[in-house]
Structure 1
């Protein structure tokens, strides 16, 4: 239990309390049918797989090994992913001399030779941005296949479909796969526990992701960028006065994140995720995501859900909310197979052991039939805003964890304790009410702490 003073207002905005924003939120339909633009539907040809001295490792250790291999392999590095079944990191290699390959195997990874280099795949995504950035499309490098995975929703028809199909085929055989989805883009509306803002268009709602300390030492929190673009002042009740102010917002463009500072500098904002029923997961560090990694997402609409990272540095194109017929593009997102529904926008993506990974940006499908959700990487948001992970104004004891220090487990864990969201709306419920409790995956379910 916390011995710290509670904020001088009705209630703390619960960490992980997620709700809707009736504004420009990303939603990309789940791809349920596919068409391989190369015509063969197969993964790129490999020239052999060597296990060398491959060792088992935890998903949380995979990013460190990935970073070492990037430096070791240089231009030969062509992506990596975490094989959760075998608990190994698989690294793709395109070219490279035998000595370098040997050292890569000795590092502990499974080495797989592939046809497409990282430079070639990067060039492919830049070509897509120039030639195929139409509303209803998304793409990201898929290290499992060694290709760029491109998705087009049901609104991409006629000339637009011809345009993106031509762009994919123009990349050359074995470079990209084009998937067709029956769904459409839609904004994330409705929800549950929320932070609120009043605009000329009415009341908007969004969610709090992770509490942080701003560069000036004051208490703040991170949330989705489209929240900060939609409104400047935020409250923990629908009819209450503002309690937090947007300091910086990025959306669209290179990310979807906002830094929002608490107006009361004495606010004690704990570094934890509220998973419902009075249970919390302490957040101790910001971490990089790895393809194949098991992750958890908290949302007050659908509760706690789990899944895996399926892609990094994803680009999403969707219809502009301000320019009819235009397109807004967001880059640098984490792609996952975690489900989400309207109202889950802005919530935290995290690991069982308290690693903060991302902020919910948008998704497709639902939690009955499954879906696909994109997240803003927390590390990018911290670097851009100068914030450090953890509660401000004494919100945590011990060192804070920032974007430049991501390794210390528990370094920024706040000693505070979460309390419920304000009761300004009749439909507000606890952020974990009815939460799905995922079954134990490779690395189990989150380990909550105590009651509040």
Structure 2
């Protein structure tokens, strides 16, 4: 039985719109996981670690240190893992140092910081606020967007002050915290209120063995049936959705059980980053995000287990509180909800939830951890070995090469004709040039900053860019 191939423009769906603030960030080179030749006498010297190895070590040391563990972060400049300890047993600290971490004494325990966050939840759950534990400052950092004014600001400020200056800090952030449902080329659904647009995060295999993908939970709550084009027939149906509450994720199953859904992120020009594992985020690590609205961009993880209080889009004056998110210093815009956050080494880290600001002035974006979503839905990363198929032989890419130039990653929506000879790209090369247009954005409508102008921008001119497999017999869905 033949199956229609989904046009690459829509099938290769992009991820959450994030751009690094400031200059282009280049991914760290693959450093040695540890220094060679360490003897007992030199075991306390910090090891040189790449981000993935640092994340693994952080998890191990959290178990080792127990209650003495007060968070950790990755020093990307020195390529070292820094671990906070409080009231630690010197023996345990020595073990942590021998394992290769930089150990520092801090004032606040994880338990104390979590208690402070609980107080904020009780006394200051206000739309437009967010908070997360920052291991670099050993404090809870509280953010308030432009909508938090008057008595709301007074309540928030007094609550933060009551926690003590050594426990929490308060800052203003640009724009307003919102979920990024509209705008950009991605996945579509028709609802009573009109067309809804989100982005595909990562292709996965559901617990029953069927092909599926992860996206944002608020997308799955907003609509059940999803298509690869605004007016097309549904190709996937929501199986599970979580929003608000403890997470923002959906599992959406492809309607055609024979759909081939490669475990990769398309960063444009026939180049892809193979996704081979799910990774927990670590503060300080560099991450990449492929966005249908703003192209490929990079930034750093700034906080974990963040709580965000979105103004409800369904209940006037209500609040949609989401917990357990990853906080980053990158931006996103309308249409990026659900899109993929990943590492240079092919680690799936998160899906776009929401944030504030835009990719001109900057902002911050929160992501749903992939590991939590997989555990909750019972899905597994990847597609059980299904490949990209003939004609879709995209080269495995290095996102850091293209991350600074959105134009290079631009036609990632359509992808164009696949170039099997494409060399590994460095995504960071495309990420930092905000002036570059994201190739296919001309098909994204007028670019209304609110995302509403993009609702009809399906970019028909690129619909034919399906690559050599346009007439193939199999369907292939890429996350873009």
Q: Same fold (TM over 0.5)?
A: yes
1:335 to 327, 330, 337: 327
Quickly say closer, same or farther: Cα 1:54–1:436, change in 2 above 3 A: closer
Describe how 1:298-447 pairs up with structure 2 within 5 A.
298-391=290-383, 395=386, 430-431=412-413, 437-439=427-429
Cα deviation, 1:413-445, whole Å, max 9, x if unaligned, reads x7888699xxxxxxx96427899952499xxxx
The answer for the alignment partner of 1:215 in structure 2 is 207
Say if 2:223 is the partner of 1:227: no
In structure 2, distance between residues paired with 1:108 and 1:293:
17
In structure 2, distance between residues paired with 1:255 and 1:186:
15
1:173 match: secondary structure: coil
Describe how 1:148-163 pairs up with structure 2 within 5 A.
148-163=140-155
Quickly say closer, same or farther: Cα 1:256–1:180, change in 2 above 3 A: same
In structure 1, distance between residues paired with 2:428 and 2:261:
27
The answer for the alignment partner of 1:106 in structure 2 is 98
Report the TM-score, using the length of structure 2 for normalisation: 0.75
In structure 1, distance between residues paired with 2:176 and 2:191:
27
1:172 to 164, 173, 177: 164
The answer for the alignment partner of 2:444 in structure 1 is none
The answer for the alignment partner of 2:89 in structure 1 is 97
Say if 2:236 is the partner of 1:240: no
Q: Aligned pairs, how many? A: 387
Q: Is the 8 A contact 1:273 1:282 kept in 2?
A: yes
Q: Is the 8 A contact 1:300 1:433 kept in 2?
A: no
2:258 to 240, 251, 266: 266
The answer for the alignment partner of 2:11 in structure 1 is 14
Question: How much has 1:60 moved relative to structure 2?
Answer: 0.8
Question: How much has 1:9 moved relative to structure 2?
Answer: 4.3
In structure 2, distance between residues paired with 1:416 and 1:318:
44
Say if 2:129 is the partner of 1:137: yes
In structure 2, distance between residues paired with 1:418 and 1:140:
41
Quickly say closer, same or farther: Cα 1:418–1:289, change in 2 above 3 A: farther
Question: How much has 1:395 moved relative to structure 2?
Answer: 2.1
Describe how 1:54-73 pairs up with structure 2 within 5 A.
54-73=46-65
In structure 2, distance between residues paired with 1:186 and 1:379:
23
Report the TM-score, using the length of structure 1 for normalisation: 0.80
Question: How much has 1:276 moved relative to structure 2?
Answer: 1.1
Cα deviation, 1:49-69, whole Å, max 9, x if unaligned, reads xx9321111001112111111
In structure 2, distance between residues paired with 1:194 and 1:18:
8
The answer for the alignment partner of 1:46 in structure 2 is none
Cα deviation, 1:127-173, whole Å, max 9, x if unaligned, reads 11111111010000000000000001122122211111121112123
In structure 1, distance between residues paired with 2:95 and 2:86:
15
Question: Larger deviation: 51-60 or 143-152?
Answer: 51-60
2:63 match: secondary structure: helix
Question: How much has 1:238 moved relative to structure 2?
Answer: 1.4
- Bigger helix fraction: 2
Quickly say closer, same or farther: Cα 1:96–1:208, change in 2 above 3 A: same
Q: Is the 8 A contact 1:14 1:274 kept in 2?
A: no
2:186 to 188, 191, 194: 194
Question: Structure 2: 5+ residue runs without aligned partners?
Answer: 22-42, 395-409, 417-424, 432-466, 469-480
The answer for the alignment partner of 2:402 in structure 1 is none
The answer for the alignment partner of 2:176 in structure 1 is 184
Tell me how large the CA RMSD over aligned residues is. 2.9
In structure 2, distance between residues paired with 1:185 and 1:338:
13
Q: Is the 8 A contact 1:136 1:153 kept in 2?
A: yes
